[in-house]
Structure 1
Amino acid sequence: MLRELLYVVVGLVLLAYTADIFFNGGDDPREPVRIRPRFPLIGHVLGLMAEGPTYYRKTSKVAGAEIYTLGCFNFKVYISASSRLLPFIQKHSRALSFRPFLQLVARKYGDASDSAYEIFGGTLPDDLSQSVKMSLAPGRHLDQLSLRMGKRVLIDIQELLSSKKNSVPLLAWARHAVVQATSCAVYGEEHPFLDPEVESSYWKWMKYLTAHLVGWLDVTKTGYAARERVFKSYIRYCSKLPEESSHLMKEHQRVLGEAGISNTDKAKQAAIFTIASFSNSAPTLYWTLWELFSRPEILEEVREELLTKGAVVAQSSEGGSGRSFVLDVAALKSQCPLLLSVFQETQRTRHVNPSFRKVMSDTLLDDKYLLKEGHFLQVPGNVIHSETGIWGPTASQFDPYRFVPKKGEKDMTATASGFVPWGAAPYLCPARQFAATEILIIAALLAMRANIRPASGQWDERPALHHADLATLSPPKKDVDMKVSVREDWVGEWVLRMGESKSRVPLASG
């Protein structure tokens, strides 16, 4: 019996290697070099399951090439590991398209009906993209979103500082703050996430995104049940949009409706719109606060910057009783390069998930790398952000001053080709100005008003990360309780002076 079992195992191994050789033999010599996995056929899949997006760092070191191929059976993924190739990828944006993933997401995450799925295979993704860009472009619509977001942020920070709890889990608080502030901005005060159960269900659903993408890993249906609770809240909200619903939300529903999408599908597609906002902004806020408050000297410099640059102004409140403070958001965005640098360096060092493209037709990159139709291209941000050719010998280290303009420079837009947490043109995140403003406001208010330190007394330099999460910055596997204390000199009434969105955050990505 043991001998027969051994024969079977040996036979399967030989079959796997034979199949691997067969699939390798079909490569065109102009295609990027194929990296053979340790285990034939499925080795790269196993590596990604075990290590998440950090697996690309390992394969990129093994490849030693600016672009290479990972294979699983006859399925190929081309990995672009060099910022030098980004302009060529952008040049072929029609042939190397993100659009097919929008249709896939509509079905896998948004439970699109058959008719809705077919419609998403047409021009609808382009129409939606244009609508979103217009609604989030600098102007009165973005001004309204930012104003409502800011008002909600003030409420959540005041509740945090007034809490009698001994400690607060930082990730849970960051998630709540992002959900509530962004929802107030987009949907108004009567938004779908007022019910704590719906908000909790949303984050439970996020844990199952990978499982839902595969289609069969959520065997207990726990993730689907959580998603259904979110869907029901959106269906109720969308049945009659309140007048205070934002231009962004109204346009989103209008474009879907005019394309022939049913009311139920419209509500579900609105719900998955949050995946790109909540699930990315929350861990980015978490890690920005982590990097800022874990560096006392930098924190003090940021506080001084906020004061000397006019971003924070103290004044007597009406009637002369007590003190009041103003956070000037226009000054915060344009005059506080150190805080912005900490934020962007957090993105650079902690960004993990790659950007995706489908190869729609045979494409020759830089006149030498052939990408075959039907396969896929990925650009892993963590590999690009580790390039010493762009970021210097300290590329692997956190430098809070990295994005502070040097003498004679106005900003850091020259590094745009190597800074990809917002994606890469023409698929840059249209909400980057809104999201960056939201995170900078929260970080600035907490820097001035609070002291935050781990309840354990020590900052963990290398916390374990949840790489299975599809967020652009991996959240920690374990939330960390924080002691939050009020800075007594800054107790008083706080207001925001928003200014106009024409005052942009000078992001390195543009």
Structure 2
Amino acid sequence: MEQFYLHLLVLLVLSILLRFLIAPGHAPEEPPLVSSRIPFIGHLIGLARYGNRYYVRLSAQSQLPAITINIFRQKIYLIYSPGLLAAAQRHAKYISFEPFAALAIRRAAGIKGNGPIVSSSSEKGRSSFDKQMKDAVHSVLLGEAMVGITRASVAAIKKSVDDLRSTEVDLLTWCRHVLTMATTDSIYGPMNPYRNREAEAAIWEFDSGLGKLTLNFAQRFIAREAYQAREKLVKRLLEYFEKCGYINASSFVQRRLEVERKAGATLEDIARLETLMVLPLLSNSAPSTFWVLFDIFSRLDLLEEIRKEIVQNALQFKPCDDSMGKPKQMCTLNMNNIRDKCPLLVATWQETLRLRANTASVRFVSKDTKLNDTYLLKANSIVQTPANVLNVDPNIWGPDAHLYNPRRFLDTRASPGAGGDRKRDRKWNGFMTFGASPWTCPGRHFATAQILALVSLLVMKFDISPVAGDWVSPRINHRSMALAISIPAEGLMVNVVTRKEVKGIDWEFQMMEGKA
């Protein structure tokens, strides 16, 4: 027994010594330090066990606007306050994602060597390439060129819904298929390399293993399924570029390809980088659509209100003839009115994003920076802002922050800042699902247009109910930390039945010229 206690004492002393030698120092001006019960790796274990929910546990434990945690010698600041988030935004020059980008891209895509895409030999050259690629992406996703891509995508969504008959489907699987095909067809054109079931499955297998691939440790063994899926996609994309499929592709492909070629990137590096480019447009759209459909169809009163709103503000009936010359009715859904004149539908979409958020933005501190003259962020540290904390903060959203209530957004639809409404500004600063300025997702408008088109058409055409009878929320895959939206860990089989009121009616979407 004495020997046991002696060993225990030795371990305790070693633990204290290691903590002193390994743990980074902590200045009084930094956010308060929250230690783990298990030295060095306790927080890492917490993240592995709970995923991004671990940040919620730390927030509840500390009740502070910001804290510091250490994983080995890495200092990580967690920001839980919209005021501190706004302060970090004002220091975007020194609190940035860019230092992570090249390393993460190289590891996830499997790019070797020192080509221009990830070269670290010239910091100036790498910054130039990064800036040109960022400009190319933003010029399309936030510009007029996106109108044509959105139109093509919405048309593909309409065709998929037209092909849907009264049947049973796994709701998430169906949403994934529809949005994958609509997105990739509209971006890559007639030679879309993702247009088969094997490639489609590879996208999602690759996406699910991005975290393991980014670790860059024994990828073929630690992330075997994701590694194999990525290599399948690389092969298909290489063939796509070799056969000049990009000639009839969208400007989203062509403008980036132009930048890559001018920089001297090899065709394989271009194909490898391309495996990552479509993921931000796909990975969160399917779970987002799943949840907004779940949240609407599981609330019959809300469903009826949204249907009435669409009929009154965004739907036009007109007579027409079918292919045989027989009279019929055509229903036109005006997508601009869906967005601008259906506030309850849009608020429902926002409320789903708020409560299903899973993202925790990651930024690198390149220079000692003080936020609001209160907290000091030390250079070479990491800053994370968990949306699943800010999006349910009672100080921002009120005492019912954890309840589903779309109407909380109805008086906050205007952009923040107008009229000096501080309550509204606080809510928008706390709405983190699409990131926060200047780090907001450039594809958010495209994703919103796609999802509102799909949801509005399904709401008007079908009644959807679970095969099991009751709407029971599926278990969440909390370990999927890379996704901005929580993803179900299991399927949900639903009955899809055409509404009697709309049988025999054809549907179409209308979008005003120059708008998406």
TM-score (norm 1): 0.92
Q: Which moved more, 1:274-283 or 1:296-305?
A: 274-283
- Give the total of aligned pairs: 495
Equivalent-residue separation in structure 2 for 1:272 and 1:298 (angstroms) = 37
Name the aligned partner's letter for residue 376 of structure 2: L
- Residue 323 of structure 1: CA displacement? 2.1
Equivalent-residue separation in structure 2 for 1:217 and 1:395 (angstroms) = 43
Which of 224, 227, 230 in structure 2 is aligned with 1:224?
A: 227
**Hey, what does 1:419 align to over in structure 2?**
431
**Hey, what does 1:97 align to over in structure 2?**
96
Residue correspondence of structure 1 range 113-262 to structure 2 within 5 A: 113-116=112-115, 117-118=118-119, 121-139=126-144, 141-161=145-165, 165=167, 167-216=168-217, 218=219, 219=221, 221-239=224-242, 240-262=244-266
Conservation of the 8 A alpha-carbon contact between 2:24 and 2:74: no
1:498 matches 2:498? no
- 3-state SS of 2:140 partner: helix
Q: Which moved more, 1:472-481 or 1:183-192?
A: 183-192
Which of 355, 363, 370 in structure 2 is aligned with 1:349?
A: 355
Cα deviation code 1:131-173 (max 9, x no counterpart):
111112242x1110111001110121122226xx5x2111111
Which of 392, 403, 409 in structure 1 is aligned with 2:398?
A: 392
Conservation of the 8 A alpha-carbon contact between 2:88 and 2:95: yes
Runs of at least 5 residues in structure 1 that lack an aligned partner in the other structure: 504-510
Conservation of the 8 A alpha-carbon contact between 2:359 and 2:388: yes
Name the aligned partner's letter for residue 317 of structure 1: C
Taking structure 1 as reference, are residues 410 and 272 closer, same or farther at Cα in structure 2, changes over 3 Å only? Answer: closer
- 3-state SS of 1:355 partner: strand
Equivalent-residue separation in structure 1 for 2:5 and 2:228 (angstroms) = 44
Equivalent-residue separation in structure 1 for 2:179 and 2:389 (angstroms) = 28
Equivalent-residue separation in structure 1 for 2:5 and 2:208 (angstroms) = 39
Equivalent-residue separation in structure 1 for 2:511 and 2:301 (angstroms) = 28
Conservation of the 8 A alpha-carbon contact between 1:161 and 1:450: no
1:365 matches 2:371? yes
1:446 matches 2:458? yes
Taking structure 1 as reference, are residues 36 and 308 closer, same or farther at Cα in structure 2, changes over 3 Å only? Answer: same
Equivalent-residue separation in structure 2 for 1:469 and 1:356 (angstroms) = 12
Which of 305, 317, 320 in structure 2 is aligned with 1:314?
A: 317
- 3-state SS of 1:18 partner: helix
Runs of at least 5 residues in structure 2 that lack an aligned partner in the other structure: 417-423
Conservation of the 8 A alpha-carbon contact between 1:469 and 1:475: no
- Residue 469 of structure 1: CA displacement? 4.5
Equivalent-residue separation in structure 2 for 1:464 and 1:502 (angstroms) = 36
**Hey, what does 2:407 align to over in structure 1?**
401
Conservation of the 8 A alpha-carbon contact between 2:246 and 2:254: no
- Residue 6 of structure 1: CA displacement? 7.3
RMSD: 2.1
Cα deviation code 1:196-236 (max 9, x no counterpart):
10111111122211211222375262221111111111111
Taking structure 1 as reference, are residues 9 and 494 closer, same or farther at Cα in structure 2, changes over 3 Å only? Answer: farther
Name the aligned partner's letter for residue 357 of structure 1: R
Equivalent-residue separation in structure 2 for 1:152 and 1:10 (angstroms) = 67
TM-score (norm 2): 0.91
1:277 matches 2:278? no
**Hey, what does 1:460 align to over in structure 2?**
472
1:333 matches 2:339? yes
- Residue 25 of structure 1: CA displacement? 6.7
Taking structure 1 as reference, are residues 434 and 456 closer, same or farther at Cα in structure 2, changes over 3 Å only? Answer: same
Equivalent-residue separation in structure 1 for 2:202 and 2:6 (angstroms) = 49
Equivalent-residue separation in structure 2 for 1:192 and 1:432 (angstroms) = 24
Name the aligned partner's letter for residue 277 of structure 2: F
Conservation of the 8 A alpha-carbon contact between 1:344 and 1:403: yes
- Residue 121 of structure 1: CA displacement? 4.0
> Percent same amino acid among aligned pairs?
28
Cα deviation code 1:175-201 (max 9, x no counterpart):
111111111221123311111101111
Q: Which moved more, 1:424-433 or 1:215-224?
A: 215-224
- Residue 7 of structure 1: CA displacement? 5.7
Name the aligned partner's letter for residue 241 of structure 1: G
Which of 293, 296, 300 in structure 1 is aligned with 2:297?
A: 293
Equivalent-residue separation in structure 2 for 1:486 and 1:25 (angstroms) = 62
Which of 308, 312, 319 in structure 2 is aligned with 1:304?
A: 308
- Residue 275 of structure 1: CA displacement? 2.1
- Residue 10 of structure 1: CA displacement? 5.4
Equivalent-residue separation in structure 2 for 1:202 and 1:271 (angstroms) = 8
Conservation of the 8 A alpha-carbon contact between 1:19 and 1:73: no
Cα deviation code 1:94-133 (max 9, x no counterpart):
1111111211221111112222321684332222111111
Taking structure 1 as reference, are residues 285 and 61 closer, same or farther at Cα in structure 2, changes over 3 Å only? Answer: same
**Hey, what does 1:49 align to over in structure 2?**
48
Equivalent-residue separation in structure 2 for 1:67 and 1:383 (angstroms) = 12
**Hey, what does 1:66 align to over in structure 2?**
65
